[in-house]
Structure 1
Amino acid sequence: MGLKNYIYENTPIYGQNLICSIYGTFLKRKRFSKEFFKYLDWLEESQYWNEQEIYDYKLRELQKIYQHAYATVPFYRHKYKKAGLPLNLIQELDDTHKIPILKKAEIREHWKNMVSQNHPDGKLFSRQTSGSTGTALDFYATKKSTRFQWALWWRLRQQYGVNFGDKSLSFIGKITVPINQKKPPFWRVNKPLNQHLVNMQHIKDENIKYFIDYIDKEHFVFFSGYPSIIYSFCHIVESLGLKIKNPPKFVFSGAEKLFVYQKSCIERVLGCIVTDHYGFSEGAGNATQCKHGNYHEDFEFGHLEPNRANYLTKSIFSGEILATGFANYGMPFIRYNVGDTATWSTEKCACGRNSSTILNIDGRNEDYIITPEGLTMKVHSYLFKDTKEIQECQIVQYKLGEVTFRIVKRQGYTSWNETHLRQKVRKWISSSIAVHFEYVDEIERTDSGKFKAVISYIDINNIKVHID
């Protein structure tokens, strides 16, 4: 335990609230400056630009970030000259395909050499992802990229009538309430942002009535945070047959995939609108879910494109997400392989937006299992539909031909549940794959608090498979 954590955990609760509020003051200045509100006003207008306006904007931004990286970033200058690429390469959007893909391994090896020698955004902020494979990714962000990204997220909230400063409850992975605390209050308050904070470690059956009383008392306008944590809370409320009298009007989820079964449970329990956005710590792209359930590329922030598009129909295609960010001139990400896959559509959405339509963010590339038949398949949420006896489940594939279900059981779980899951796997995944079960008290999160539904230790690159 670090010294700061030790001091915090041994500070009285009123002192912890004060520390949260002091940190909230810092965050408010960092994220929500005058520039943030200028970006937000502009974004309210740009979201309904026509196709030509979007094309022209993206082309200009791609040309600028490419030329900036070529001229001022040693890593890109060396990489692009070695590939024989000229400074004026980008003449139309399709020219991006000529640019080599940026891989995570390159960033881990060369990240200090990826900083611009002449970035116009002032101080750089050191950032780090937890790394889906356990290996952290270091990078830098700028004031502009940070504020721009937060403006995108607030544009989504404003679409539903939420005002800046409305009271919210955030479900986070970061430990704000010490794990060893056994009595309420199991929440802390960040007054400058009117934000109340809950961490996942205290969302348990024995504490749930305290949370309900607290929520009913506070009248939150919206919840935000990791969907897996909000789902865990709602799942317990539903399983115990409890009711929330004053639920929020909205739930805004992000940072990890929102599964259909999670969204359905949250909607049943809270009776409110649940919407989602797609983003990632590196801040090179973003997509926001509209009221019709589709995601739309936030083109103002970056360019998202598929790597080796696989056409499922004439208008629907899928592929790995490659992202080029427009806001971070301090450490540009150009054609960055995020590690996620998505499904795009060329058909227009009824919401009226003309930016690229993404039907689904399919999840991390490693969130697949490989069947004995050689198929690489997503583990769909319908495996756990209406399974109230399972609080959480993580599927792990250690080797070919088998999978392990790591399950946190609820009251009422019996051998029938095992049999039922095996039958579903045989029907929907593979008739010959072996299914094992491991029962745990809790499922570990990543360092940043994210829940991973699937962990695969199979190297897909060395196996001949077919994507299903």
Structure 2
Amino acid sequence: MIDWAYQKWILPAFESGIKRRKTFHHWRDLEASQWWPRQQIESLQVRRLRDLLTYCNAHSAWYRDRWADHGIDVDAVWSLDDLRSLPITTREMIRENADAIRSRYPGVAFVSKATGGSSGAPLRFLIERDANDRRVAAAFRGYGWAGASPGTKQSHLWGVNLNKLPWRQHLKECLYARLLYRRDMLNSFEMSESNVSDYVNRLNRYRPKVLVAYANPLFVLARAIDERGLRTHRPESIIVGSEKLYDHQRELIERAFGSPVFETYGSREFTLIAAECDRHRGLHVTSENLIVEIVDDHGNPSAPGEEGQILVTDLFNTAMPFVRYAIGDRAVAGTGDCDCGRGLPLLEKIVGRQMDVLKLPDGRHLPGAFFPHIIKDIPAIRQFQAVQTRRDVIRLQVVVGDNWNADDRDALRQRILHHIGDSSQLEIQQVDQIQLTAAGKMRVVIGYSGPQRSHPSRIAG
């Protein structure tokens, strides 16, 4: 009854009445369109794509000139396949040409955002206000598949604002999260194995319907619950986002909490890109707002079952358009339809960051998932990070427990060297902690970013 009141009266009154946002209107539309046949959704995408390209050609000097340089007539784009004729846009291009990319149409209302990204080089961009409302609505829908519709009682083990806020603004944010949206915010930056019981106690006191979390701190929490036999509140579901979720992590989290895990995939540039429904056959793409492509190293559609890099076209952000934007992540496109009945296409799985694929000196590509797969069977390793410091050097940092010994170290070295061969040197370093990114996330694998880097610039032309 309380959830219903928040969804039907309290939150709509705030969002639509006080804030004059169209979030709930767009959410209702998305709840209906998700059940459309695939062909109808694709027809909608094409209409919105043509409107976007026409707009960019008229009001974004950078896109207009770039497409002209490539001999592209946007009026000739009549299908999703035709979109492939447009060149790929990289993060570096957006950063270096931001002023020329942004819309010059007078009176466009927008909000400013920024993302640091794993590289640490910030990207500042604009989002048209209605486009921002639409992406929040998409998050409402995607989280709703896991039972986390707006207004449900939730705990968020998430990154927090590290800047010291004036007390009025801090109070405002607390009231907005806790009282209005019923979210108890747990600081993932401060969690460690020594204080996990404090986090468990807080979950037990608040008793959320849904737990929302970064993958890696949640895995640390779940492992402590499992190993120490801690008694914890069992939420109806768990939503994991912002970091790559590996199969062994999902298995342990579900065992520790006794709750199903729902994976989501998103970014600061686009908010929720895809999310799992209760059938867990992959992640449904937010296709009413976005066009998501999975392409190989040459910009062609990846073969079925093969991973590729993700390109995203935002169909609504006219303030600063993103057209065929290489977001820096890799995925495998889904095949077929989900038996849930939704017409939204699937991503079979999110593989990880583009830079999480290590290119070895002998020409082989070592996927980032290799290291979690090897290390998950060594219980003494609590955390790790593999960094390719040079093309021929891999440094593996490990945080270990008291049961770590020389046999573990030698076995780990031999297992890794067996796969990577003798073309690379392997350094294993024992450390006290793994450094997080500026956003508080854990990057478990970091590829070489030196002058030989070929992704995604090699296919950007």
Task: Classify the TM-score, shorter chain.
Answer: 0.7 to 0.9
SS of 2:135's equivalent?
helix
Q: Distance in 2 between matches of 1:449 and 1:462?
A: 25
| Residue 210 (1) aligns with residue 231 (2) | no
1:60 is matched with: 47
Aligned pairs for 1:204-243 (under 5 A) are 204-239=192-227, 241-243=228-230
Classify the secondary structure of the residue corresponding to 1:360. strand
1:335 Cα offset (Å): 0.9
Partner of 2:109: 123
Aligned to 2:129: 143
Q: How far, CA to CA, are the matches of 1:251 and 1:135 in structure 2?
A: 31
Question: Counterparts of 1:232 and 1:388 in 2: how far apart (Å)?
Answer: 13
Question: Tell me, which stretches of 5 or more residues in structure 2 are unaligned?
Answer: 1-10, 165-173, 456-461
* Shift in CA distance, 416/144, structure 1 to aligned 2, threshold 3 Å: farther
Cα distance in structure 2, aligned partners of 1:33 and 1:229: 36
> Per-residue CA shift, 1:360-400, capped at 9, x if unaligned?
11111110223343211113221122433222111011123
Amino acid at match of 1:385: K
Q: 1:322 and 1:409, CA in 2 relative to 1: closer, same or farther beyond 3 A?
A: same
Counterpart residue identity of residue 334, structure 2: S
CA distance in 1: counterparts of 2:289 and 2:19, whole angstroms: 17
2:146–2:239 contact (8 Å) kept in structure 1: no
Identity across the alignment (%): 24
Picking from 354, 357, 363, the partner of 1:368 is 357
Question: Offset at 1:417?
Answer: 2.3
Output the amino acid matched with 1:195.
R
Aligned partners of 1:389 and 1:411 also within 8 Å: yes
Which stretch of structure 1 is more off in the superposition, 251-260 or 63-72? 251-260
Count of residues in correspondence between the two structures:
425
Query: 1:52-91 maps to which residues of 2 (within 5 A)?
Result: 52-91=39-78
Structure 2 equivalent of residue 10 of structure 1 = none
The answer to whether residue 252 in structure 2 is matched with residue 265 in structure 1 is yes
Cα deviations by residue, 1:71-108 (Å, 9 ceiling, x for unpaired): 01121122222223234131222111111111111111
CA contact (8 A) 1:284 1:323 kept: no
**Aligned-residue RMSD, C-alpha:** 2.7
| Equivalent position SS for 1:88 | helix
Asked if the contact 1:249–1:273 (Cα under 8 Å) also holds between the matched residues in 2, the reply is yes
Compute the displacement of 1:300 (Å).
Answer: 0.7
| Secondary structure of 1:272 counterpart | coil
Distance 1:458 1:163 in 2: 40
Q: Read off the aligned partner of 1:156 and give its amino acid letter.
A: G
Match of 2:328 among 332, 339, 350: 339
Contact 2:131/2:316 (<8 A) preserved: yes
Gaps of 5+ in 1: 1-24, 179-187
Are the aligned partners of 2:154 and 2:183 in contact in 1 as well (CA < 8 Å)?
yes
Deviations 1:341-365 (A, max 9, x none): 2111333333323332221111111
1:156 CA drift (Å) = 2.2
TM-score (norm 1): 0.83
Alpha-carbon distance in 2 for matches of 1:311, 1:209:
45
Post-superposition CA distance 1:204-225 (Å, at most 9, x none) = 2332222222211211111113
Alignment of 1:277-296 (within 5 A): 277-283=264-270, 286-290=273-277, 291-296=279-284
Residue 409 of structure 1: CA displacement?
1.7
TM-score (norm 2): 0.85
